[in-house]
């Protein structure tokens, strides 16, 4: 997270240097911090609207509520709100600014595909995200990546169209280095976000397995979710990192698969299953 903030400061400094106005640096940092705070405080509301999740009825989904409550007690967490997404694609996510304001959402497709132990594994994974405070990490990462991309785009457009107050009699090498840094900073920030997201997924897998004491449940659930090539009906890149599996569905093309693995917020299912089970054979 410190490196993320450092990149924001560097981009803001380049902007302020080019415009010959040091105040821009301070404004950039303040905007980044303010955007982080707003996103963190309102993350659950924004995600619920984007995904179309609705509160799960206590009577209709009594077993789901009971499962979430039992696992939350085991994890030492308050019971999060339980939401349902009417979507045939099997998936789930957790969000909220802290354990007291968290929610867990699952799709109807997930409940149709998984048995009880597998569903418990998925719920334990999502509760682990809450316990590990991953919502804070992911929200800050996404906000900073978006901020860096926007500022870099503005800087490049101003440079191309000649806006700014800095004298243009600058050594060409300095300009080249500055432009390259501005162009690459969003890419570097995005790669950092992917690395952070993948590590938190591995951590949630491990924490969830410890919570249920049955890693086979989560491992089998991941295999079944991966086997479904169906993408979710309501999904965006802004929320894709929150789900337990890639909400856009699996890709059949091998080249596309490799590219997706490189730039996905989720580790490949095979790696996650191997980390959970080692050499143990997972039933499909």
Catalytic residue numbers read 126
User: Quick one: 62 exposed, middle or buried, by C-beta within 10 A (0-12, 13-18, 19+)?
Assistant: exposed
85 within 8 A of 52, measured Cβ to Cβ:
yes
Which tokens is 145 given?
A: 């990546």
Residues facing residue 84 across a β-bridge:
54, 106
Q: What angle do CA 130, 135, 140 make, to 5 degrees?
A: 160
Strands 92-95 and 81-85, sheet pairing: unpaired
State the Cα–Cα distance between residues 73 and 245, nearest whole angstrom: 25
Q: Is 60 helix (H, G, I), strand (E, B) or coil?
A: coil
Q: Kind and range of the H or E element at 93?
A: strand 92-95
């Amino acid at each position: 997270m410190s490196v993320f903030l450092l990149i924001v400061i560097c981009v803001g400094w380049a902007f302020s240097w080019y415009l010959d106005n040091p105040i821009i640096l301070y404004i950039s940092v303040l905007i980044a911090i303010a955007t982080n705070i707003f996103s963190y405080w309102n993350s659950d509301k924004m995600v619920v609207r984007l995904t179309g999740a609705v509160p799960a009825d206590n009577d209709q989904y009594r077993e789901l509520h009971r499962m979430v409550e039992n696992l939350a007690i085991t994890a030492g967490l308050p019971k999060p709100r339980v939401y349902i997404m009417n979507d045939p694609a099997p998936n789930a996510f957790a969000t909220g600014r802290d354990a007291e304001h968290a929610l867990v959402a699952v799709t109807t497709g997930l409940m149709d595909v998984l048995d009880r132990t597998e569903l418990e594994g998925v719920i334990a994974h999502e509760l682990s995200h809450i316990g590990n405070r991953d919502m804070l990490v992911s929200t800050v990462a996404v906000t900073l990546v978006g901020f860096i991309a926007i500022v870099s785009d503005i800087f490049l457009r101003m440079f191309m169209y000649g806006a700014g107050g800095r004298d243009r009699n600058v050594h060409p090498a300095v300009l080249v280095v500055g432009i390259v840094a501005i162009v690459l900073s969003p890419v570097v920030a995005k790669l950092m976000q992917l690395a952070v997201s993948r590590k938190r997924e591995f951590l949630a897998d491990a924490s969830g397995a410890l919570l249920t004491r049955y890693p086979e449940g989560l491992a089998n659930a991941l295999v079944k979710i991966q086997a479904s090539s169906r993408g979710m009906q309501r999904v965006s890149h802004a929320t894709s990192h929150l789900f337990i599996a890639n909400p856009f569905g699996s890709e059949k093309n091998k080249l596309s698969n490799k590219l997706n693995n490189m730039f996905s917020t989720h580790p490949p299912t095979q790696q996650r299953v191997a980390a959970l089970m080692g050499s143990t054979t997972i039933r499909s």
